[in-house]
Amino acid sequence: MFFASDNWAGAHRSIAERLLMESTGFAAAYGAGDLDKKVEARFSEIFEREVSVFFVATGTAANSLSLASVQRPGGITFCHSQAHVIEDECGAPEFFSGSARLSAVDGEAGKIDPAKLVAKIAGFPEDAVRQGRASAVTITQATEIGTVYSLPEIGEIAAIARNRSLPLHMDGARFANALVALGATPAEMTWKRGVDMLSFGGTKNGCWCAEAIVFFNPDRAREMPFIRKRAAQLFSKSRFIAAQFDAYFENGLWLDLARHSNGMADRLRAGIAISNAARLAWPTASNEVFAVVSKHAAKTAEEKGAKFYEWPTPTATPELVSERETLIRLVTSFATTEADVDGFLKCLAA
């Protein structure tokens, strides 16, 4: 009953086997091999246009280097107040961009409020030397609290960014989960809605260590080879990242894994909705579930082996959790089974 994080899950067998296949023989290094080029071309097929792709090791690297590539002196990047880039990356986006700042924008359901974004951007006029100047906007899809931006919502944020000529970045650590939740295509959820750059995550969805930075306009990517090298993210044996993506994309495996993960979260949501010892904290659509449970039920579940994280009560809704309750986060993965879910729900009923 491992629900602490999808990062706790291992690698899917097909991906592990593909890595093993690639472990023998020789191939050109630093992204110059045939497999690297094959996978880069596959990204272009998936997104229905020519894209520039840069493999990196972590989501933090993907986010930080993406934002670094569009920063200017005095630059400000706008993100949701709960975004991973501002809450959980130890200042890496600021560090790799040369101390560019992140400006938090509030919004319900983990999403940037468009009106508040307009107001926040307006606070940094182009000629305001003292305040700094707007440089980029980043959104998280799926969000940190399990919700998903709809296609029109992405388009609305993109239009606001475009009005100030700001590039729009998408943190897609759980890109596949959001994609299948919407029933959209990769193109529809990104560049067709105005997204300029994407941190494409595979690690949370069955890969061992596979993340990529995707530029939907290759002209914007001219500085990235130097930025990536300077950040120590240019792997000599990059074919081992490419191998993971090769297996990940084969026969739609990446989408199947995300559907399974989301399906297990749906099973959790349905069970919690009818539980006497728990309730859903808010609606979610991806593979993250947030529940308010009695402290007794949470302790019982932990004693029986369940792994999950307690979550801070949102400051905007302090009444959500009573003194006898606790808020928890449950994350499913490609490796979650129905037995895992049912076992956890049984613990709640104990």
- Tell me the per-residue pLDDT of 286-314, one tens digit each, with 9 for 90 and over: 999 999 999 999 999 999 999 999 999 88
pLDDT value, residue 349? 81
For residues 263-276, average pLDDT = 96
Q: What is the pLDDT of residues 101-159, one digit of tens each?
A: 999 999 999 999 999 999 999 999 988 888 899 999 999 999 999 999 999 999 999 99
pLDDT value, residue 317? 85
16 within 8 A of 208, measured Cβ to Cβ: yes
Q: What is the mean pLDDT of the chain?
A: 96
pTM for this entry: 0.96
DSSP 263-321: HHHHHHHHHHHT-SSEEESS---SSEEEEEEEHHHHHHHHHTT-B-EE-PPPTT-GGGS
Q: What is the pLDDT of residues 66-105, one digit of tens each?
A: 999 999 899 999 999 999 999 999 999 999 998 889 999 9
Which SS3 state, helix, strand or coil, does residue 171 take? strand
Alpha carbons 71 and 136: distance in angstroms, whole number: 7
pLDDT value, residue 316? 82
For residues 194-214, average pLDDT = 97
- Percentage of the chain surpassing pLDDT 90? 91
Q: What is the pLDDT of residues 230-267, one digit of tens each?
A: 999 999 999 999 999 999 999 999 999 999 999 999 99
In 3D space, the residue among 20, 39, 27, 11 whose CA is nearest the CA of residue 250 turns out to be 39
- Which comes out higher in pLDDT, residue 315 or 189? 189
Half-sphere exposure of 223 (CA within 13 A, CB side): 11
Alpha carbons 247 and 30: distance in angstroms, whole number: 20
272 within 8 A of 280, measured Cβ to Cβ: yes
Rama region for 74: left / alpha / beta (φ>0; ψ in -120 to 50; rest): left
What are the strands of the beta sheet with 278-280, ordered from one edge?
Answer: 278-280, 288-294, 325-331, 309-310
The CA distances from residue 288 to 16, 148, 331, in Å, are 25, 11, 5
pLDDT value, residue 350? 65
196 within 8 A of 220, measured Cβ to Cβ: yes
In this structure, how many other beta carbons lie within 10 angstroms of the beta carbon of residue 245? 27
Q: For residue 315, name the pLDDT band (cuts at 50, 70, 90).
A: confident
293 within 8 A of 320, measured Cβ to Cβ: no
Alpha carbons 284 and 111: distance in angstroms, whole number: 12
For residues 180-184, average pLDDT = 98
- Which comes out higher in pLDDT, residue 317 or 114? 114
